[in-house]
Structure 1
Amino acid sequence: MSVDPETPEQEPAPRWPVPPAGGWTADDLDRLPNLPPHTELIDGSLIFVSPQTRFHMRALRFFEWQLESLVPDGLEVMREFTIDIDRLNRPEPDVLVVDEELARGPLQQTRIPAESVRLAIEVVSPDSIGRDRETKPAKYARAGIPHYWRVENKNDRAVVYVFELEPATRVYVATGIFHDRLKVTVPFPIDLDLTTIKPKGLPE
């Protein structure tokens, strides 16, 4: 049977990995071939990241650079790096501050232990609202990560929701909502002008 040369060939459908019984494990992220960049593991399921928005890109760059200039000795700022929570959960916060000694490993390492993380920051995207507001902070809290920030886009301006771990219950307690300026004393003194995250050209 001949093929009409005017008819374009259809792209083959993507072939996603079929999960095994019980779901994928943290070790599988390092073994599965051809996974998209920044794939996470949540409750044994692979989570693929959607295209990044301009706000998301600017917020990640802002917090990475600003925290780099403020972080004290013994702590390290990392960006988009997975953490081991348990066998079925290996999320990737957008920005992290970690204890250098506890996170120490070979340059080939692809993940760090949750106990090394002092601050996890998630910049919310349209497809990650539920994960960043509910699923991931609950897991970060149970893993003992003492500080969690959630960054949201409100009319092209950043709003940062700051949470601190209540150690007796292992749940996060809201300690502030910051619109134009973020000033906190933990996990170390931080004073940031959030208005600089907005795209250039927008009115003040």
Structure 2
Amino acid sequence: MAHLALSEFQALRIAVLTISDTRTLATDASGQTLIEGLQEAGHILHERALVPDDIWHIRARLCAWIADPQVQVVLMTGGTGFTGRDNTPQAVGPLLDKHVDGFGELFRQISLEQIGTSTIQSRALAGLSNGTLVCCLPGSPGACQTGWEGILRKQLDCRTTPCNFVPHLKTSPEKPAASCRSRT
């Protein structure tokens, strides 16, 4: 189904969550990469947080943002590998109403050109929950740059045709985005 594209950009409210047992906000280059990308594109950073790689800490922070009527997108970095402490997919998966199966597939395809077959060790994923797009990327700045430039920049822009994610996101209570909604 094609969506009506706008000629005017619509800034989204995006939260960034870093999952790490070792980083601090001051040393979080991956989260900073996502923030720089979203702000350069004209979006609004709603909030930034860092939690340990623990299923319950991840879920608690993510659930608060999913329930927040102001948060339209959550970008997460870290915890998508295979070590014993990589828990992001297990934490996030049950919270999603709909999985965006193609996100992880496309991320790995784009990453193949950059890191070769090591891309199969990424469990990048995305989905929708309560009108919030949740995207989970690996914890390296390069992976965050790849995900932002290769997928998210265009999919979070309501001018992208033939379709993008904006019509599926919750709208601000004070400013409906009906002009970016799909036509049925």
| TM-score for the superposition, normalised by structure 2 | 0.38
Please identify which structure carries the higher strand content: 1
| TM-score for the superposition, normalised by structure 1 | 0.35
- Which protein is bigger by CA-based radius of gyration? 1
